[in-house]
Structure 1
């Protein structure tokens, strides 16, 4: 006869096998949810280049770009029963050199990491907004119940970037051919992380990401014109 320890080991081994099979099935089931209708676009609102220190104790001053942007995105197709949260960010892409005789290497720098979006968080925010709206209303007329918003719909206007960007050279002013784009990372309960199209990482979701129109960074803020005496 088997001892109690052998029986516990057998039960634990069977439980582990079942758990792994269920986890694999859950991870593969996300392939059944199409994400082709996912859309995102971003447009530059304002940009300025300023000088600052990379950290508190540094004496070296470098140039940093500060952005404001407009963002429209419908990430609803990314949400299914296995989605824990979606991490959305905006990044800038620009050439490493403005010399046409050199090979251009694109650099990416994150501008703004938006709040992590989850279905429960979106419903909680919507509920709070409706409660505030009802509190502001006067009279006996009750406010109409608003429909639950989709968890992945974003519409930001004049959003200030959470992070300013810098360059390894310490110089960003008058950089040419800069563009903004939206990226995301789908974090499931079980399975692999999924990235946005064009992010360079795999696996990628489907969807359409519209880049902003190319623009040039302005000259350094507060820079005195050439020939002007201090």
Structure 2
């Protein structure tokens, strides 16, 4: 007959194996999830637009954000991080997210990062073009 320690080891090994298989199945099931997000961002008002002492521009915008991100929330979703960034081009850089915004055309980009309970973290974005900041600081 086997000892208690041997039996406990066998049960624990079996339980960990089943848990690993379930985690693998959960991770694989998320790869079958077809993303179909939609978002619309409208700039309602430029509250203020000023130059900071360190030389960077600061703008406060009132935004109306309407986004359907329902597809992200599956039974394997732990957390979702969503943020909006202003992005624009200059002759030096193809992607900027900071200073020298005065008079620039810019895109608002909705970024998201989905952290699953098990499996690979995913990230994506939606770019919405056609926004413009004033030539003068307010």
User: What is the TM-score of this pair, normalised by structure 2?
Assistant: 0.78
SS at match of 2:130: coil
- RMSD (Å), alpha carbons: 2.5
> What's 1:86 paired with?
80
Unaligned runs of 5+ in 1: 54-59, 109-166, 198-208, 222-230
Does residue 33 of structure 2 align to residue 39 of structure 1?
Answer: no
Unaligned runs of 5+ in 2: none
> What's 2:112 paired with?
184
Q: Which residues in structure 2 correspond to 1:16-165 (within 5 Å)?
A: 16-36=16-36, 38-47=37-46, 48-52=48-52, 62-95=56-89, 97=90, 102-108=91-97
CA distance in 2, matches of 1:186, 1:52: 33
C-alpha change, 1:90 and 1:24, in structure 2 (3 Å) is same
Q: Which runs of 4+ in 1 moved over 3 A?
A: 60-63
C-alpha change, 1:214 and 1:173, in structure 2 (3 Å) is closer
| Greater per-residue strand proportion | 2
SS at match of 2:7: helix
> What's 2:8 paired with?
8
CA distance in 2, matches of 1:29, 1:177: 41
Q: Give the number of the structure with larger relative contact order, counting CA–CA contacts within 8 Å between residues 6 or more apart.
A: 1
